[in-house]
Amino acid sequence: MKLLQFFTVITLLAGFAAYNSSVTNNTKDMRDMQSKLTDKQPDSTVKTIVKTEQEWKEQLTAEQYYILREKGTERAFTGKYLLNKETGVYNCAACGNPLFKSNQKFDSHCGWPSFDDQIEGAVKTERDSSHGMVRTEIMCARCGGHLGHVFDDGPTNTGLRYCVNSVSIDFERDTAVK
């Protein structure tokens, strides 16, 4: 019986040590990502749009409201822009703010449209510790709509992967390109 108690205590201590290490690594990773994003934050001259939640409900579809205003997530591999290869600009579905250019998009195989950068000042970030994870949420700098999250595992020189819900964006095709 004492041997069982001993192994239980050892297992608990090992689990706590692993958890503590994970939290420390997550905190360091968050600091590293924040330093990459510091120069990308919107300046104070961005004209923000403020509406009541009732006004947003009247303007947006139920799915758009859920994602943009309630910070929801669409199911992976279901978004209409996941496989889009056309040239143009991705705008906020709530306010039309230009967010990402098509040349910033890449296939990350994560199930959501991914971009390695943003249009300068178009996206703001905030620490998100929901669902037992520590992540960096991305939001439209103009209306505050939830777009998704940004991660520091991108394959390009920015090192970033903006993982975006298709429902939160609209695509404006460049008509000059044939």
- Asked if 95 is an active-site residue, the reply is no
Is 69 in a helix, a strand, or coil? coil
Residue 63 DSSP one-character state = H
What's the CA gap between 54 and 39, in Å, rounded? 34
What's the CA gap between 113 and 163, in Å, rounded? 6
Task: List the beta strands (DSSP E) in 45-152.
Answer: 88-92, 98-101, 105-106, 114-115, 123-128, 135-140, 146-151
Which of 92, 140, 143, 163 is catalytic? The answer is 163
Residue closest to 150 by CA, chosen among 121, 176, 101, 113: 113
The catalytic site residues sit at 163
